């Protein structure tokens, strides 16, 4: 590896040095790996630490060498590394991925951010309880203590979050609205801890170790200006390179060690499970010790009122009092005569509103128009439903995201803002062009850009019996090619389940005008139908090979939506995703909706009698888990199927005298073929003749295996593969009631298996 290397990150050019410097000798982790970690996780780390002054711990000679705190910005740091002056120190701030890489290159293993962030560095935006157990304290007791503290804090109106510290302990953080001083936050934290200690005898507020008597320190003294804690996702300078890992509370149950997550295993977890703290700021509240702000009545809003007949439209009247934090926002998806989104920000007791005809921009450097509309009453934060025909804005209105926002910077021609909500957490810039016309621009990169980097599809578990219950909805299991569609700027791209682009194989499916969206990622199955409307697998497979001769037109049945107009929707419940999916499929000739039914057993019976493959039962409230097999989707097939190698045949008699009686099939497993049975039914006259014509050239002398079944077998060389249906396996592993389905010229021995992947 090169000792020095220049890299370009966006508009920044950095010189990296000593890349092969060993930082963690026991783990063989070199500096290049630390840099790579901070670069990969930058979008998520920045979400949490951007704008926060940083205390940094540097380990220039590795974790066993000399270490020191770096608080002051070095003179030689590049100009673009931001900083913030607090008394006599000029703290560095990481505002972009290049800054994290710059710091990692200085062997800053540990990032310790302030509890407050710009533009209000005097006002913390969370309260921190640092649970510090004594040496040898059982971790399960620390977990119990954290759960107890959570309940205590919830009872006072907070919404606590948990993370590991990367050491022995745990951090419990309560998001706050950033309008309370450090002194007030400290007093509130101390007060809460005092109350908690009355019922919890294993904890103490004693800073002095000798006075703790084996109890866990609840360190509330970090709630002071200049005090820091290890940042979310920061690596620790300790053996094993543990990371301070944000968790969901339910993750705590299965966490056996406080250092389970480290530099090597955390990125994978984050890329499949996402950031459990994504919506952190959306749960911010005021201190329980301060009076809540008064109710906003929003004034008269004459323009709003003049446009509407509020008795009939169902929308809220301007004078309804609403209790809010003062920093609320809502984003509506509004399917009026034209689809658009409405961004509404709470300002001066009303909702300042902009209509976004093309949704939110998905990433930096994409700008979208935002047309300022009349102010709406605060009560509109909660409004969704249908505005009846004939009224202003008639059509369906959904709450697409709702949470808190913050103005980060006021400019002459607009402002910077951060939206924090369970559905969407991102930073934007609003630029005023002229009379009512604005542009909105995204400032931070999304943690994962589904449009550029489409995820693998979610997979279903197999089950034998149709699951029954209110929570399920049922749809056909389409027998075709699973496909992820992306739509951006009027361009559709199609990806197979393995992530291969197959756009060019299906020109007839590139119909962006059929979709009512600007950006979207959809999940569906491409099929070619027979005259009765049944999917024919062989025909769609043929289309994968040659795109030109498209005599048989393909259609796509869509059943899920992963991304829509500026945000990922994988965490929304299936039923809501399907509502938006149905709303965006405009013309359904080619781009179709896979319909769902409530009665699974009736659907299964219908599928059985019409010769279709099976059904899928899906939990209505389930989230979409890319690339994972999930029990919230259950496939039930009419019969099981597999693809096996044809390795011999037995001679036919009577009607089959000219062809054969059965095919001997085997599965490739552990480096050899295993006997799986003889298949004698399911053939048509045509398939009998076709297969017979191939057998002579494949004849072999050698037997693949021996079995009492196999007396008069003519053995074959490897070369034929077939899909076979069967009901179950016998105790000695043979197929019960096997039925030939079709040859699979596209298969090889490694792909032989009893459950065909789909
Ligand atoms: Mn609207």
Q: For residue 371, report the phi and psi dihedrals to the nearest 5 degrees.
A: -100, 120
Residue 7: pLDDT band by 50, 70, 90 thresholds? very high
Q: What percent of the chain has pLDDT over 70?
A: 97
Residues 6+ apart with CB under 8 A from 750: 668
C-alpha 331 to ligand 1 mean position (Å): 10
Helix (H, G, I), strand (E, B) or coil at 614: strand
Residue 749: predicted pLDDT:
85
- The single residue of 31, 404, 477, 618 carrying the catalytic annotation is 477
Residue 298: predicted pLDDT:
58
C-alpha 491 to ligand 1 mean position (Å): 26
Q: Within 13 Å of residue 434, how many CA atoms lie on the same side as its CB?
A: 0
Intra-chain end-to-end CA distance of the chain, in Å: 41
With CA atoms as reference, report the closest residue to 453 among 349, 568, 364.
Answer: 568
DSSP 27-54: TTEEHHHHHHHHHHTHHHHHHHHTT--E
Return the minimum-mean-pLDDT range out of 189-193, 223-227, 745-749. 745-749
Residue 507 CA to chain centroid, in angstroms? 29
Q: Within 13 Å of residue 195, how many CA atoms lie on the same side as its CB?
A: 13
C-alpha 595 to ligand 1 mean position (Å): 29
Helix (H, G, I), strand (E, B) or coil at 433: strand
**How far is CA 648 from each of CA 652, 664, 675, 714, 756, rounded to the nearest angstrom?**
13, 5, 11, 5, 22
Average pLDDT over residues 549-576: 92
Task: Say if pTM beats, i.e. exceeds, 0.75.
Answer: yes
C-alpha 335 to ligand 1 mean position (Å): 8
Residues 6+ apart with CB under 8 A from 303: 374, 375
- How do residues 597-625 score in pLDDT, each as one tens digit? 999 999 999 888 887 889 999 999 999 99
Residue 311 CB-density burial (10 A; 0-12 exposed, 13-18 middle, 19+ buried): exposed
Residue 535: pLDDT band by 50, 70, 90 thresholds? confident
477 catalytic? Reply is yes
Q: Within 13 Å of residue 401, how many CA atoms lie on the same side as its CB?
A: 29
Q: Which tokens in the block code for residue 326?
A: 């003062």
688 has a pLDDT exceeding 80: yes
**How far is CA 380 from each of CA 5, 332, 395, 399, rounded to the nearest angstrom?**
54, 10, 16, 10
Residue 547: pLDDT band by 50, 70, 90 thresholds? low
Task: Indicate left, alpha or beta for 226 from its phi (over 0: left) and psi (-120 to 50: alpha).
Answer: left
Residue 532: predicted pLDDT:
81
Residues 6+ apart with CB under 8 A from 50: 93, 94, 95, 117, 444
With CA atoms as reference, report the closest residue to 662 among 718, 712, 697.
Answer: 712
C-alpha 342 to ligand 1 mean position (Å): 5
Residue 595 neighbours by CB distance under 10 Å: 12
CB of 343 within 8 A of CB of 353?
Answer: yes
Buried-exposed string 184-200: b where 16+ CB fall within 10 A, e elsewhere:
bbbbbbeebbeebeeeb
CATH numbers and ranges of domains, the chain: 4-113 (3.90.920.10), 126-283 (3.90.920.10), 302-442 (no CATH), 459-637 (3.30.470.30), 640-754 (2.40.50.140)
CB of 167 within 8 A of CB of 236?
Answer: yes
Buried-exposed string 252-286: b where 16+ CB fall within 10 A, e elsewhere:
beebeebbbbbbeebbeebbeebbbbbbbbbbbbb
């Amino acid at each position: 590896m090169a000792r020095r290397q220049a890299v370009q990150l966006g508009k920044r050019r950095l010189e990296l040095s000593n890349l092969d410097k060993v930082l963690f000798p026991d783990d063989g982790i070199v500096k290049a790996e630390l840099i790579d970690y901070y670069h990969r996780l930058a979008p998520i780390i920045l979400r949490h630490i951007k704008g926060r002054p940083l205390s940094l711990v540097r380990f220039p000679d590795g974790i066993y060498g000399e270490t020191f705190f770096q608080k002051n910005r070095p003179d030689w740091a590049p100009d673009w590394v931001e900083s913030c002056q607090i008394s006599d120190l000029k703290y560095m701030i990481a505002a972009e991925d290049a800054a994290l890489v710059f710091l990692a290159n200085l062997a800053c293993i540990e990032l310790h951010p302030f509890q407050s962030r710009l533009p209000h560095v005097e006002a913390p935006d969370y309260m921190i309880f640092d649970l510090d157990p004594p040496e040898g304290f059982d971790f399960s007791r620390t977990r119990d203590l954290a759960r107890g503290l959570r309940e205590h804090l919830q009872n006072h109106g907070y919404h606590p979050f948990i993370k590991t510290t990367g050491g022995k302990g745990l951090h419990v953080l309560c998001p706050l609205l950033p309008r309370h001083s450090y002194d007030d936050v400290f007093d509130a934290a101390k007060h809460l801890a005092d109350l908690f200690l009355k019922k919890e005898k294993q904890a103490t507020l004693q800073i002095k170790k000798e006075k703790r008597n084996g109890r866990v320190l609840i360190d509330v003294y970090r709630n002071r200006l200049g005090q820091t804690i290890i940042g979310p996702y920061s690596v620790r300078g300790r053996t094993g390179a543990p990371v301070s890992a944000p968790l969901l509370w339910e993750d705590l149950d299965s966490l056996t060690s406080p250092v389970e997550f480290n530099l090597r295993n955390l990125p994978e977890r984050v890329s499949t499970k996402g950031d459990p703290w994504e919506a952190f700021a959306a749960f911010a509240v005021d201190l329980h010790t301060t009076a809540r702000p008064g109710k906003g009545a929003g004034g008269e809003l004459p323009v709003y009122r003049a446009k509407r007949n509020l008795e009939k439209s169902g929308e809220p009247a301007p004078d309804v009092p609403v209790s809010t934090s003062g920093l609320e926002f809502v984003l509506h998806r509004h399917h009026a005569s034209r689809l658009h989104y409405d961004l509404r920000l709470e300002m001066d007791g009303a909702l300042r509103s902009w209509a976004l005809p093309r949704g939110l921009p998905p990433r930096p450097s994409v700008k979208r128009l935002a047309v300022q509309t009349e102010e709406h009453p605060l009560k509109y934060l909660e409004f969704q439903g249908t505005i009846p025909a004939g009224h202003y804005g008639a059509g369906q209105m959904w709450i697409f995201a709702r949470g808190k926002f913050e103005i980060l910077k006021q400019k002459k021609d607009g402002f910077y803002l951060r939206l924090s909500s369970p559905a969407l957490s991102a930073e934007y810039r609003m630029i005023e062009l002229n009379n009512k016309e604005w542009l909105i621009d995204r400032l931070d990169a999304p943690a994962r850009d589904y449009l550029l980097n489409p995820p693998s599809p979610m997979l279903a578990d197999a089950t034998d019996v149709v699951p029954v219950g209110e929570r399920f909805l049922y749809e056909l299991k389409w027998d075709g090619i699973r496909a992820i569609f992306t739509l951006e700027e009027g361009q559709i791209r199609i990806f197979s389940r393995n992530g291969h682009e197959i756009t060019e194989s299906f020109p007839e499916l590139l119909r962006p005008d059929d979709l009512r969206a600007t950006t979207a990622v959809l999940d569906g199955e491409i099929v070619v139908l027979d005259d009765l409307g049944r999917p024919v697998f062989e025909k769609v497979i043929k289309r994968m090979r040659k795109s030109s001769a498209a005599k048989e037109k393909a259609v796509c049945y869509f059943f899920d939506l992963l991304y829509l107009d500026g945000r990922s929707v994988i965490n929304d419940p299936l039923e809501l995703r399907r509502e938006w999916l149905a709303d965006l499929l405009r013309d359904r000739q080619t781009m179709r909706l896979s319909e769902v039914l409530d009665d699974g057993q009736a659907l299964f019976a219908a599928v059985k009698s019409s010769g279709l493959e099976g059904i899928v039962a899906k939990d209505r409230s389930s989230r979409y888990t890319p690339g994972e097999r999930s029990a919230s989707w259950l496939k039930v097939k009419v019969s099981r199927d597999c693809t096996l190698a044809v390795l011999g045949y037995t001679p036919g008699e009577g009607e089959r005298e000219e062809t054969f009686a059965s095919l001997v099939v085997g599965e490739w497993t552990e480096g050899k073929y295993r006997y799986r049975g003889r298949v004698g039914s399911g053939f048509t006259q045509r398939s009998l003749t076709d297969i017979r014509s191939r057998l002579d050239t494949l004849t072999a002398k050698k037997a693949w295996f021996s079995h009492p079944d196999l007396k008069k077998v003519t053995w074959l060389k490897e070369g034929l593969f077939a899909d076979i249906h069967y009901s179950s396996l016998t105790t000695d592993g043979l197929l019960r009631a096997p039925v030939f389905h079709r040859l699979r010229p596209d298969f090889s021995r490694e792909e032989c298996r009893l459950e065909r992947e789909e």
